Amino acid sequence: MPSSSTNRFSATKPCTWALVGLALCGVVHAAVQEAPSAGPEQLTVVTWNIWHGGREDGEELGPARGADVLRTSAADLVALQETYGSGERLAAELGFTLHPRGTNVSILSRFPIREDLSVGDDFQCVGALVELPDATLVAFYSLWLPYSAEIWEPGTRDTSQPGALLAACEASARALQTTWNAIDARLSHPRYADVPILIAGDFNSMSHLDYGEIGFDQYGAVVDWPTSHVLARAGFRDSYRECNPVIDRTRDSTWTPRFPEQEQDRIDFVHYRAARWRARESRVVRSHPDGFPSDHAVVRTVFQRVAAPEDDARALRAVSYNIRHGEGMDGAIDLARTADVLRALRPDVVGLQEVDLRATRSAGQNQALELAEHLGLHPAFGSFMDFQGGRYGMAVLSRHPIVDVRSLRLPDGNEPRVALLVEVRLPAGDTVVLVNVHFDWVADDAFRFAQASTLAAHLATLQRPYVLLGDFNDLPASRTLELFRPLATEATKPRDARWTFPSTAPEREIDFLFCAPPAAWSVADVRVMAERVASDHRPVFADLRLRAE
């Protein structure tokens, strides 16, 4: 970031690319390390904006520290931004191949580069087809995206104006969409059909996965950044967020280790789309014993080679649980106890109702985030309303990476209500939508039926398989429940053990799970957990399987 086109140093001249067989005029070879005969099971990828060639601390000292950082990272592939003439030195010190383009973006590779895959603006994009030691190939891109306005320096950001924030990153969204369209076209030939794609770089925009309601207490705004949607819609995974599901602004930030007074944000990414690789570890590196040489931190991701997806890659244990803001039947608010209940169920996805975010009654906890941390799951939150100095609503937790989060406003009842729709990506690559509900509880079902009707109309428009779950606050034979049976398959509980409320002596069945479209799912075990203390509801779960298309 925050390096604009006015900082385009010209320490190196752009190369005119010309392919002669597999030789590239733009590839600068250092003493490339001999690759082992067998392919690696791991691949370590780094992205780093090295800040004006890494020379802000001196012509010699800065690049030397930069080489230290990269050497310590044990990277196999490095996406560099603001290379500005330092690529040759870094390649030589690491014994890597340098693949430059223009003055800004470049690639360092431990392994041979077989083809230039660059597209678009030479200041913003460089790409290479890299051959791994087992002769398999990876398409690797380094990007630098522009931005429209400064919103990182002190005094340049007004979180009460999300529209202005979005406008500031509009240029990055446009540039990424254009670049991805060009990459997609460049790799459209059948010979690239099974080649993994890694797209890394300085995106100069934040992620919608960080700035959802789940991160409101850390970022102070809910902003649906369009830039991060571009690759998510194209099937890519955010490797860092995949490995670090719990949002921590301090730990996650890549901008900026050199200027702590500025807005700290995650704006550098390693995205990937690959059937046989998974991100297993990803972290931000922002320190050097003698002073970190860049205004951007390093993002380092370790990918692990995996086998072909098994049948269970589409299996999904879904849980619905009204947790009553962690307050048990003993009157104690004990979120660790709630986590223990969920852990015992070994869920893949969880719909939680009655969840607080920074409300006084629950000691200011971000309950969805804390439960996610207890369980190692990805969290999402959707609020009904402001409440006791914080927010009150519902949450989804997922073992699988979250792609998108949306709240569908429902008609107001005794209290405001939303349906929380969370799209997750399964190991086989399919995406499904978790639809979490908590309808109005008053005896007269008019509010409840109006809310259910609005949701049913929306569900009829969904183009992806979905799981509908939650506290419906109505009985199986009610007109509320009947709205959903034409749309979806109900996960039917055992007749003699179907009651979910109240937990101490249940006598009503008001918590349900459905899946749709019916032909897309098979339903196996469905049960209510006999938990009496942690909440006034009992959790219900179902073992589902998404059928392959």
Angle, CA of 235, 300 and 295, to the nearest 5°: 110
Mean pLDDT over 344-368 rounds to 97
Q: Are residues 69 and 154 in the same domain?
A: yes
- What type of residue is 177? Q
Q: Is residue 22, in this structure, part of any structural domain at all?
A: no
Q: Residue 2 phi/psi, 5° resolution?
A: 0, 60
Q: Are residues 337 and 205 in the same domain?
A: no
pLDDT at 11 over 50: no
The secondary element (H helix, E strand) that includes residue 100 is strand 97-100
- In 132-260 the beta strands, taken as DSSP E runs, fall at 137-144, 197-202, 237-238
As a whole number of angstroms, the distance between CA 124 and CA 143 comes to: 5
Q: Are residues 224 and 315 in the same domain?
A: no
Q: Is residue 149, in this structure, part of any structural domain at all?
A: yes
The secondary element (H helix, E strand) that includes residue 86 is none
pLDDT of 1: 52
Q: Is residue 35, in this structure, part of any structural domain at all?
A: no
Q: How confident is the model at residue 310 (pLDDT cuts 50, 70, 90)?
A: low
- Residue 77 CB neighbour total at 10 angstroms: 26
What residues make up the domain containing 140?
Answer: 5-14+40-305
Q: Is 58 left (phi over 0), alpha (psi -120 to 50) or beta?
A: left
The mean pLDDT of the chain is: 92
CATH number of the structural domain spanning residue 101: 3.60.10.10
Q: Are residues 235 and 372 in the same domain?
A: no
Q: Are residues 277 and 168 in the same domain?
A: yes
Q: Is 273 exposed, middle or buried (0-12, 13-18, 19+ CB in 10 A)?
A: middle
For 165-195, letters b (16+ CB in 10 Å) and e give: bbebbbbbbbbbbbbbebbeebbeeeeeeeb
pLDDT tens per residue across span 372-403: 999 999 999 999 999 999 999 999 999 999 99
Q: Are residues 447 and 518 in the same domain?
A: yes
The last residue of a domain, from among 305, 328, 352: 305
As a whole number of angstroms, the distance between CA 231 and CA 404 comes to: 12
Please give the structure tokens belonging to residue 217. Answer: 């207490």
Q: Is residue 21, in this structure, part of any structural domain at all?
A: no
Q: Are residues 290 and 330 in the same domain?
A: no
Mean pLDDT over 435-450 rounds to 96
As a whole number of angstroms, the distance between CA 406 and CA 409 comes to: 10
Name which of 52, 130, 55, 142 is nearest 96 in CA terms. 130
The mean-pLDDT minimum among 13-17, 28-32, 254-258 falls in 13-17
The last residue of a domain, from among 284, 305, 326: 305
| C-alpha dihedral sign at 386, 211, 223, 238 | negative
Q: Is residue 20, in this structure, part of any structural domain at all?
A: no
Mean pLDDT over 402-430 rounds to 96
Name which of 285, 210, 282, 276 is nearest 243 in CA terms. 282
Residue 379 contacts by C-beta under 8 Å, 6 or more apart in sequence?
214, 245, 246, 247, 368, 369, 371, 372, 395, 396, 397
Q: Is 235 exposed, middle or buried (0-12, 13-18, 19+ CB in 10 A)?
A: middle
Q: Is residue 30, in this structure, part of any structural domain at all?
A: no
- In 193-276 the beta strands, taken as DSSP E runs, fall at 197-202, 237-238, 268-273
Interhelix angle 335-345/367-375, rounded to 10 degrees, is 50
pLDDT at 523 over 70: yes
Partners of residue 318 on adjacent β-strands:
349, 542
The tally of domains found in the chain comes to 2
Partners of residue 435 on adjacent β-strands:
421, 468
Is residue 113 within 8 Å of residue 130, measured between CB atoms?
yes
Q: Are residues 355 and 397 in the same domain?
A: yes
- In 268-366 the beta strands, taken as DSSP E runs, fall at 268-273, 277-285, 298-305, 315-322, 349-357
Q: Residue 319 phi/psi, 5° resolution?
A: -125, 135
Q: Is residue 33, in this structure, part of any structural domain at all?
A: no
Q: How confident is the model at residue 548 (pLDDT cuts 50, 70, 90)?
A: confident
pLDDT at 28 over 70: no
Q: Is residue 161, in this structure, part of any structural domain at all?
A: yes
Partners of residue 278 on adjacent β-strands:
304
The mean-pLDDT minimum among 9-13, 234-238, 368-372 falls in 9-13
Q: Are residues 262 and 365 in the same domain?
A: no
As a whole number of angstroms, the distance between CA 130 and CA 140 comes to: 7
Mean pLDDT over 31-57 rounds to 77
Mean pLDDT over 262-287 rounds to 97
The last residue of a domain, from among 287, 305, 323: 305
Tell me the C-alpha to C-alpha distance, in Å, between residue 59 and each of 7, 442, 540: 17, 71, 63
Q: Are residues 279 and 366 in the same domain?
A: no
Name which of 527, 422, 437 is nearest 473 in CA terms. 437
pLDDT tens per residue across span 195-216: 999 999 999 999 999 999 999 9
Residue whose structure tokens are 């540039």: 175
Q: Are residues 280 and 373 in the same domain?
A: no
Q: Are residues 180 and 266 in the same domain?
A: yes
Mean pLDDT over 457-478 rounds to 97
Tell me the C-alpha to C-alpha distance, in Å, between residue 78 and each of 94, 133, 170: 11, 17, 27
Partners of residue 100 on adjacent β-strands:
106
- In 411-510 the beta strands, taken as DSSP E runs, fall at 417-425, 431-438, 466-471, 489-490
